[in-house]
């Protein structure tokens, strides 16, 4: 999947070999397999990836000569265990969990002044792929709902995606600049969208938001809903808006 997506990105962004040599690909453990890593290096990309093989982390840890603290973990250099098309730096990380160590490892072609700097660079990733899935699982109940039929489950995932997009639209056009701007998907569903109320239409384009609640967030929720409805009205009336898209 990663090579296919990368090739599509190369076409869309018109990435020449010279441009690829200035491009850094960052991958989590789910995409950092040896095959994909070797393919990216052969294409000329720089990489900053978390390794794919969980057991390899433990095997590499036995080769670490010096462990240094990094937050609540320890990190150390190891020599590359496999041949690769270009020079790489490998760092192992271990965390004490209960009564045993848990290991992970990181690979990069970039040059860093220290292994701490390497880990800090990796930790500055956007996190979208983690945060969005976590919010959908918790806030929209994706992890709690399961269908026996493949197509039923597929439909459920599509409906969850639609709900996710509607919530993001509400956040951008209704919550930004309000006391609720920091609310994530879970808090929106649990605390905001659960407030009973109604929208009263008093005439063409005229409405009133009435909330039946005494909670401390009722007033800002009402203001956000009114702002969002006004945003929807403006977008629907704009010449370039497509109602059939």
Using alpha carbons only, give the angle 97, 103, 104 rounded to the nearest 5 degrees: 130
Q: How many CB atoms lie within 10 A of CB 227?
A: 16
pLDDT above 90 covers what percent of the chain? 34
Contact 194, 202 (CB under 8 A): no
pLDDT number for residue 140:
79
- Partners of residue 133 on adjacent β-strands: none
Domain ranges of the chain: 2-125, 150-237
Query: What confidence category does residue 51 fall into, taking pLDDT thresholds of 50, 70 and 90?
Result: confident
Q: How many angstroms separate the CA atoms of 243 and 8, rounded? A: 29
Token pair belonging to 38: 């070797």
Q: How many angstroms separate the CA atoms of 21 and 10, rounded? A: 12
pTM over 0.75: no
pLDDT number for residue 30:
63
- Residue 90 or 184, more confident: 90
Cα–Cα distances in angstroms (integers) from residue 141 to residues 86, 135, 162, 171, in the given order:
44, 9, 14, 19
Token pair belonging to 192: 């905001």
Q: Give pLDDT tens digits for 125-150.
A: 655 555 566 666 777 777 677 778 88
Q: How far is CA 160 from the centre of its chain?
A: 16
Q: Give pLDDT tens digits for 152-205.
A: 888 888 888 888 888 889 998 999 888 888 888 888 888 888 888 887 777 766
Helix ranges, the chain (H):
2-13, 17-20, 34-43, 54-61, 115-123, 128-139, 150-170, 185-187, 218-237
- Residue 51 or 61, more confident: 61
* Helix (H/G/I), strand (E/B), else coil: 174: helix
- Helices (H) and strands (E) counted in the chain, each on its own, are 9, 8
Average pLDDT of the residues of the chain? 85
Query: What confidence category does residue 116 fall into, taking pLDDT thresholds of 50, 70 and 90?
Result: very high
Q: How many angstroms separate the CA atoms of 45 and 39, rounded? A: 9
pLDDT number for residue 153:
85
Token pair belonging to 82: 């496999």
Number of Cα atoms under 13 Å in the Cβ half of residue 143: 8
pLDDT number for residue 111:
94
Token pair belonging to 232: 């929807």
pLDDT number for residue 240:
63
Token pair belonging to 79: 């020599």
- Residue 203 or 45, more confident: 45
Residue 160 makes CB contacts below 8 A (sequence gap 6+) with 136, 140, 142
């Amino acid at each position: 999947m990663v090579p296919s997506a990368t090739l599509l990105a190369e076409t869309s962004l018109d990435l020449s070999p010279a441009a690829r040599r200035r491009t850094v690909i960052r991958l989590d453990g789910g995409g950092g397999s040896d095959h994909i890593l070797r393919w990216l290096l052969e294409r000329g990309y720089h990489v900053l990836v978390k390794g794919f093989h969980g057991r390899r982390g433990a095997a590499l840890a036995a080769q670490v000569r010096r462990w240094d603290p990094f937050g609540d973990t320890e990190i150390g250099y190891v020599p590359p265990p496999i041949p690769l098309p270009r020079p790489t730096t490998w760092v192992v990380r271990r965390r004490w969990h209960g009564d045993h160590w848990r290991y992970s490892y990181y690979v990069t072609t970039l040059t860093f002044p220290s292994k701490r700097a390497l880990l800090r660079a990796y930790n500055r990733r956007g996190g979208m792929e983690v945060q969005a899935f976590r919010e959908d699982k918790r806030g929209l109940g994706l992890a709690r709902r399961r269908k026996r039929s493949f197509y039923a489950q597929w439909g459920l995932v599509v409906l969850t995606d639609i709900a996710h997009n509607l919530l993001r639209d509400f956040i951008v056009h209704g919550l930004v600049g309000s006391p609720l701007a920091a609310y994530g998907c879970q808090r929106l569903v649990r605390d905001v969208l659960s407030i009973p109320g109604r929208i009263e239409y008093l005439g063409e384009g005229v409405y009133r938001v009435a909330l039946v609640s005494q909670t401390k967030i009722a007033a800002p929720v009402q203001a956000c809903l009114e702002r969002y409805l006004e945003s929807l009205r403006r977008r629907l009336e704009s010449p370039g808006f497509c109602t059939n898209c």
